Amino acid sequence: MLLRRLLLILIVLPISVGLVMLAVANRHSVQLVADPFGADPAFTLDAPLFLVVFGALIAGVVLGGVAVWLSQGRWRRAARRSAREARNATAQVEALRAAAAPPAPARPGLTFGPEPRALADRRDAA
């Protein structure tokens, strides 16, 4: 927990201060043009420069995350397949253990088997 707080102070705080300074220093408006080759731009958008920069950063992070997520699809598929195989193997082991275990008697004392020695001796004596 202390390491997380230290990283927050040493990394996130200076980056945040730098971004705020960038936003304050670049408040002037810039014109975004959708058709850079047209003589008369049909669609233009006036926005502060810091919004353009922050928007580009956010778009890059989102697109990078989507690209990584798509490229790691085969690893997630392999993990799901391995988890399914592990569940099936566990179920098979439990079934084999249940089949190999001797059946428990219904009630103790009602088992059939050789008679105790003391009862056999009394019958012979009578």
43 is a domain residue: yes
119 is a domain residue: no
Tell me if 30 sits within 8 A of 46, measured CB to CB: yes
For the stretch 29-72, pLDDT in tens is 888 888 878 777 778 889 998 888 889 999 999 999 999 999 99
Closest residue by Cα to residue 53 from 71, 33, 34, 27: 27
Closest residue by Cα to residue 33 from 46, 49, 24: 46
Range of the domain at 45: 15-65+72-99
Question: Cβ of 50: how many Cβ atoms within 10 Å?
Answer: 19
91 is a domain residue: yes
11-15, 61-65, 68-72, 118-122, range with the lowest pLDDT = 118-122
**pTM value?**
0.56
112 is a domain residue: no
